[in-house]
Amino acid sequence: MSKDVIASEALKKHMAEDRHGSRLGPVIHDIVYGGNDGIVTTFAVVAGTIGADLPHYVVIILGLANLFADGTSMASGSFLSIKSEMDQYKRLRKEELQEIEEIPEMEREEVKLAYAKKGFSGKELDAIVKTITADNDRWADVMMQEEHGMTEESASQPLLHAIMTFISFLLFGSIPLMPYVFGIHEDIRFKVATFSTFAALVLLGLTRSIVTRERLFRGPLEIVSVGALGALVAYGVGVLLRGTVGVAF
């Protein structure tokens, strides 16, 4: 077996290792975004209604309404946001291709300047610029990344991101409602909901830390802190309204 074949096999094995990122890496943003918002907003409904001393069926109605309405809203917002980025990418790339045709020398100098800033110079720099500018599509891709900070991958698969956001929102957002849906005794419902919400936030934080390979405690600490702040605000508003508005059932 030749050295090139051995090197190629070794490279394939190396690229397949976990150190090159989890399969959840491309959608971890959607999981954290949807999951965190689902937990916080649904628990905010629970905390706000409990703070206002409203009946448990109100918690279920408002919680489920929030779960599906807000989840759908977030998913559609994610889809439209990435779709808009995709449209912008296509428009800018079309403009870059047009500039390459009309003012190639100027565009060639932009490539040269970009790679000179990376530390290349002399014949090495000239060779890089020559290779890049030998193909207009490759040239346009480089200009999109260097000039606009955009790649085709960063503006792709809007439907996948929308679906992952929705699923994450529903899965994590339903946790604070479980004690009310399954009829746990009213004396401990809110305590169980609070504990379950805390556990869900920790789980979401651990998921983020594992996928992004950051320190394990960092993800849970940040997400629990943000979630606790939202819950406290919601509960406080509920208590305030109970004392000032005088809602009665």
Q: Which amino acid is at 49?
A: T
Phi, psi of 6 (to 5 degrees): -60, -45
pLDDT tens, position by position, 82-102: 999 999 999 999 999 999 999
Q: Which residues, including other chains, have CB under 8 Å from residue 170's CB and lie 6 or more apart?
A: 38, 67, 68, 71
Tell which wins on pLDDT, 185 or 51. 185
Evaluate the CA torsion angle 85, 91, 94, 96 in order and state its sign: negative
Residue with the bigger pLDDT between 243 and 63: it is 63
Confidence of residue 218 (pLDDT cuts 50, 70, 90): confident
What's the mean per-residue pLDDT of the chain? Answer: 83
Predicted confidence (pLDDT) at residue 185 exceeds the cutoff of 90:
no
The string over 169-186, giving b where at least 16 C-beta atoms fall within 10 Å of a residue's C-beta and e elsewhere, is bbbbbbbbbbbbeeebee
pLDDT tens digits along 24-60: 677 888 888 898 889 888 888 888 777 777 787 888 8
Confidence band for 103, pLDDT divided at 50, 70 and 90: very high
Of residues 246, 243, 238, the one with CA closest to residue 48:
238
pLDDT at 119 over 80: yes
Residue 227 pLDDT greater than 90, yes or no? no
Using CA atoms, how far residue 165 sits from 67, 172, 219, 248, in Å, is 12, 11, 18, 37
Residue of 30, 24, 46 lying closest to 227 (CA atoms): 46
Q: Distance (Å, rounded) from C-alpha 78 to C-alpha 177?
A: 25
Going by pLDDT thresholds of 50, 70 and 90, the confidence category of residue 161 is very high
Question: Is the entire prediction scored with pTM above 0.75?
Answer: no
Q: Most confidently modeled of 11-25, 184-198, 204-218?
A: 184-198
The pLDDT assigned to 18 comes to 47
